[in-house]
Each structure stands twice: as C-alpha cells, then as structure tokens.
Amino acid sequence: FFFFDSLQDQFDNLEKHTQWGIDVLEKYIKFVKERTEIELSYAKQLRNLSKKYQPKKNSKEEEEYRYTSTRAFLATLNEMNDYAGQHEVISENMTSLITGELTRYVQELKQERKSHFHDGRKAQQHIETCWKQLEASKRRFERDCKEADRAQQYFEKMDADINVTKADVEKARQQAQLRHQMAEDSKAEYSSTLQKFNSEQHEHYYTHIPNIFLKIQEMEERRIVRVGESMKTFAEVDRQVIPIIGKCLDEITKAAESVDHKNDSQMVIEAFKSGFEPPGDIEFEDFTQPMKRTVSESSLSNSRGDGKSEPKFGSKSKGKLWPFIKKNKLMSLLTSPHQPPPPPPASASPSAVPNGPQSPKQQKEPLSHRFNEFMTSKPKIHCFRSLKRGGAGPEDFSNLPPEQRRKKLQQKVDELNRDIQKEMDQRDALTKMKDVYIKNPQMGDAASVDHRLAELGQNIEKLRLEVQKFEGWLAEVEGRLPARTEQPRRQSGVYEAQNPSGVNSCAQDRESPDGSYTEEQSQETEMKVPATDFDDEFDDEEPLPTIGTCKALYTFEGQNEGTISVAEGEMLYVIEEDKGDGWTRIRRNEDEEGYVPTSYVEVYLDKNAKGA
C-alpha cells in the first residue's frame, strides 16, 4: 500500500509540473501578443507623425518643399512611413508564426496531458482493485483456515469424550472435513489471486506506468522545444526586417547628403529677386546759389526743356531712387511750371487719377527740408503688406516687384495653357464620341453632345483670351526688365500701363515701371538731369527720336499753347516722357507734336529706348 501512495504522489507532482509548463507557455504567448500590440501602436504613431508633418496640398507649405533641405525632410517622412510598415510586418509575422501557432499547440497540449493522466489514473485504479481482491482472498483464506482448525479441535474433543454419541462424533468429523475443504479451496483461490496480482503489479510497474511517464516526458520535452523554437522565431522575425529598415535609414542618409546649401541659397535669391537696381549717389546741393528754373511755354521746342532746367542735381548717371523711398517728397520740387493737366473724364479730381500729377502751385520748401522729411518718413506699401497677409492683389500682379511679377505671370500663363489642353482633350474625346454616335445611332444621340461641345469651344476661347491678356502683361514686364545675361542697366523712362476702369485699392502703392515702389502713382517719375550744359537744352535742330507708342484712353481737346488734340483710341508716338508735371510729349506725324495729359494715354515704351 506504501508503493501505491508513493506512486500517487508522483502523479500529483507530474500533474503540477506539466500544468506549470502550460502556464509558462501561455505566459509567453501573452508576452508575444503584447509585443505585437506595441509594434502596431508604434507603427501607427510613426505613420501619424509622418502624416502630421507632410505638406498640405495647395498650401504655402507645399511651395517650401522645393528646397533641398525641405525635400530631404520630406524624404525622411516618407522613409519613416516605410519604417512604420516594417514594424507592422513584425507584428503580423509574430501573430501568425508565434501567437497563433502556440495558441493551437496549447490546446493540443492540454488534451494530450489530460489523456495521459487519465490513463495513469485508470492504471492506478486497476492495480488498486487487484490489490483489494488479493486482500479479500487472503482474509477469506485466513478465516477458513481458522474455522478448519477450530472444527478439527472440536472433532478431536468429541472423539475423546466417551459420553458423546457416535452420531455426534461423526457429525463433528464431517464438519471438520468440510472446514478443511473450504480452507483448501480458499487457499487455492488465494494462490490464484496472488499470482494474478503479482502479474498485474509487474505489468503495472514495469510496463503501463513507465509508458505513461514516458509519454508525459515526451510531451513536456516537446513543449520545451516548442518554446525554444518560438523564441528563435521571435528573433528571426526582427532580423528579417533589419535589411529593409537599413535601406530606409540609408535613404534618409542619402537624402541628408543631398542637401545643397548653395542651391537653396540661390533658390532664395531667385524667389525674392525684385529686379530693382541700387539707387544712384545723392549729389551735392550748392546753397550758395539760388535755385533757378527756366520756364518757357512759347513754343513746342521750348517745352523740351521742361523738367531739365534744374540746377546740377544729377550727373550723367541719372539718379534712381530705392524701391520704398517716397519720390514725391523730392519730386514736388521739380514740378513743371505748366498748368496742371485736366483729370480724366471718369475721375472726380486729379488726385484720383492713378498717374495724375500733383498741382505745381504748391509752395516750395527748401530741398534740405524735403530731403530730411523723406529720410525720416516711413514708406507706405499697403498693397505689398496686404499681399503678405494673403489679401487679394490686382489681376496683373502689378503690386509685385518686376522679377516676382514676371514669375507669377509666367505661372499663370502655364496654368491657363494646361487648362486649355484639358478642355481640348475633352473636346477631342467628345468629337470622337459624336463620330461613333453618327456611325452607330443605336449607341446614342449625336446631337446630345453638341451643347457640351459648344460649351467647351466657348471655354477654350475664353481661356485663349486670358492667355493673350497675361502674355501681353508678361511681354510688358519682360520688356521693362534688363536682359538676364547682361549687367543691369539704368532705365531712363517710366512705363505706365494702367487700366482706368480697374483702379483698385493698391493704386497708390503699385510698383513703378522702373522697378521701384512709390507712395502715389502720380509721382512715378525719375529725376532726369541733363547730361550736357544748360545752354544745350535749347538746341532743337534735330527732332526728338520716338521712344515708344501710346494709346489715347480719352478724347483731349488741346486748346492751350503747346498741347495737341487726340481722339479716344488713337495710336501716337511718344517722344518725351512725363517729367513729373503730368504731361507727356507725343507726335502724330513729322509736323504735329505736342503735350497731352499723362493720365489720358497708356504708354508703351520701347525696350531699346529704355535701355539707351
């Protein structure tokens, strides 16, 4: 019975140990599952981080990604997205190769363990049953032996007693024989049961139980091996993505090495290059001599001297003001003695004219006072600032510096051309569809696409007109900008191309055609100083060359001396620009020339004349 208890203890120990092994396996499965969740969460966070810093479409940020440094950053974001994808691969592989497989294996292991211990308990119960049978047979044999011994003693006692009848003695003898026979039978049964038990016990301890223990051992060893293989797979899943992660890091390094500081600096220069030229030197003012102006309105030839009869305020290199200096502070001193020109018919006053001059009848202050005033004043570039704030600018981008305006116009032309191409592609597709409908009426009505074709034709025509308009503005800007391959040249004229019907809030802050910003359009002038002596101003033997053309915006009746009448829409030649007095000198033919209000004409200066 001691062996049975000892064996039962071993089964209990094995049962506890195998259950512990299953618990360890389930704990490892839980560990891997949490690792996969961490990988997924990390990948999700990386993707969200990459998405967060991606440039938004059709925004200012998207334009900033043209620099090599920002492109490298964008490449880093894209690689981080791929990097996150590899962590998702780790999670997927661990889930399929480890978590899923081990979960199924644990279920199989539990069933196998349950079967083995069930067989062990069954064998244990069988041997215990055999033992109980042996004990019962033994006790019965012992009892029968004692009963036979008592019957024999009773028979001998009866046989020795002379007072007992012969029948009683015979009865006692028969009883003794019966007991002896029962004892012999019990002995035989006990012997048979004992042999059977010994055989069963031998088979139990040398066959059944070792086999069960061996199966449990193999089961436990397989569990241990499976845990080791899963740990190896755990490492291999990580190792498989290392080359791809390395490629991602290599691409990030390559993007970082592609950063070109020189190229980025040049792009900044190109992006913000204004086309302005540096200002000329400020000339010395001689206050020892009074300022004298020679005014002559007796003839057209004398009118050539308007704006040139100033003291020697500039040398042969004509001074040009810096973009945001208020020209009108100095130009008010150089106004022509002519009477102010009339305002355009649509304007309420001369001050409302975009390029209308100030009245020359204002009282003059000393030049030094005016100079101090414009040096201490703040430039008013409302339109430029409103552009920075995202406000709507004029359609022709005239509020931008020349170079920036040219780029914007070029972009607009390219955009319109792309739109035209899209419309033409749609028109061609519809035309083909119409041809198919004509050939196969059952497929559709050919007349159903006529309306759409007409709309596309109108759209294309509108877009072409827009392209022509913007190309005209582009040609105007490129005409006034110096050649890119040449040194910047001083421009001697003011290019004024304004639409009176489109005067907007930026009218006083538009760039001047020579590349500078002025506070008022009426003061878009350059200081022109004679390159020769004062006496040469009246040399009028050679006619003035034409420097451009102009178109009359309004009808003007030239009734004063030196003026000329023009009709609305008439094309004329420009021979002298506005000197700041509001008058432009024009020529109709060799015999007819004179002055008209600058605000009444739209001037187109020749590029060669401007660079002369």
Indicate whether 46 pLDDT > 90.
yes
Indicate whether 608 pLDDT > 50.
yes
- Name the amino acid, one letter, at 208: H
Q: Are 587 and 571 in contact (CB under 8 A)?
A: no
What pLDDT does 511 receive?
Answer: 38
Question: Does residue 163 or residue 319 have the better pLDDT?
Answer: 163
What pLDDT does 8 receive?
Answer: 64
Query: What residue ranges in 489-547 does DSSP mark as E strands?
Result: none
* 353-408 tens-digit pLDDT: 334 433 333 344 444 444 444 444 433 333 443 334 444 578 888 887 778 888 88
Q: How many helices (H) and strands (E) does the chain have?
A: 13, 5
| pLDDT (average), residues 523-549 | 52
| DSSP codes of every residue in 151-185 | HHHHHHHHHH-TTS-HHHHHHHHHHHHHHHHHHHH
Q: Are 571 and 550 in contact (CB under 8 A)?
A: yes
Indicate whether 297 pLDDT > 80.
no
What pLDDT does 401 receive?
Answer: 79
Domain at 548-605, CATH class = mainly beta
What pLDDT does 370 receive?
Answer: 42
| pLDDT (average), residues 513-527 | 38
The DSSP code for 557 is -
Residues in the chain: 612
Residue with tokens 């008209």: 596
Whether the model pTM is above 0.85: no
* 204-218 tens-digit pLDDT: 889 988 999 999 999
Indicate whether 436 pLDDT > 70.
yes
**CA-CA distance, 115 to 15, in Å (whole number)?**
12
Indicate whether 537 pLDDT > 50.
no
* Distance set, CA 448 to CA 373, 431, 441, 445 (Å): 71, 12, 12, 6
* 153-170 tens-digit pLDDT: 888 888 888 787 888 888
Give the model's confidence band at 490: pLDDT under 50 very low, under 70 low, under 90 confident, else very high. very low
Break the chain into its structural domains and give their ranges.
Answer: 10-267, 395-479, 548-605
What pLDDT does 299 receive?
Answer: 41
Q: Are 97 and 236 in contact (CB under 8 A)?
A: no
What pLDDT does 270 receive?
Answer: 82
3-state helix, strand, coil in the chain (%, to 5): 60, 5, 35
What pLDDT does 277 receive?
Answer: 75
Indicate whether 14 pLDDT > 60.
yes
What pLDDT does 233 receive?
Answer: 95
**CA-CA distance, 577 to 48, in Å (whole number)?**
62
- Name the amino acid, one letter, at 500: P
Spatial CA neighbour of 450 closest among 475, 431, 467 = 431
**CA-CA distance, 321 to 523, in Å (whole number)?**
12
**CA-CA distance, 12 to 17, in Å (whole number)?**
9
What pLDDT does 333 receive?
Answer: 36
Query: Of all residues in the chain, what percent carry a pLDDT higher than 90?
Result: 28
CATH of 10-267, one of 1.20.1250.20, 3.30.450.20, 1.20.1270.60, 1.10.540.10: 1.20.1270.60
| pLDDT (average), residues 534-560 | 72
**CA-CA distance, 411 to 395, in Å (whole number)?**
13
**CA-CA distance, 605 to 137, in Å (whole number)?**
138
- Name the amino acid, one letter, at 600: Y
Q: Which of 152-166, 185-199, 294-308, 538-552 has the lowest mean pLDDT?
A: 294-308
* 52-82 tens-digit pLDDT: 988 887 767 667 778 899 889 999 999 999 9
Indicate whether 172 pLDDT > 90.
no
Give the model's confidence band at 330: pLDDT under 50 very low, under 70 low, under 90 confident, else very high. very low
Give the model's confidence band at 516: pLDDT under 50 very low, under 70 low, under 90 confident, else very high. very low
| pLDDT (average), residues 302-308 | 41
Indicate whether 254 pLDDT > 60.
yes
What pLDDT does 359 receive?
Answer: 36
The mean pLDDT of the chain is 75
3-state DSSP call for residue 583? strand
Give the model's confidence band at 85: pLDDT under 50 very low, under 70 low, under 90 confident, else very high. very high
Indicate whether 231 pLDDT > 60.
yes
What pLDDT does 355 receive?
Answer: 40
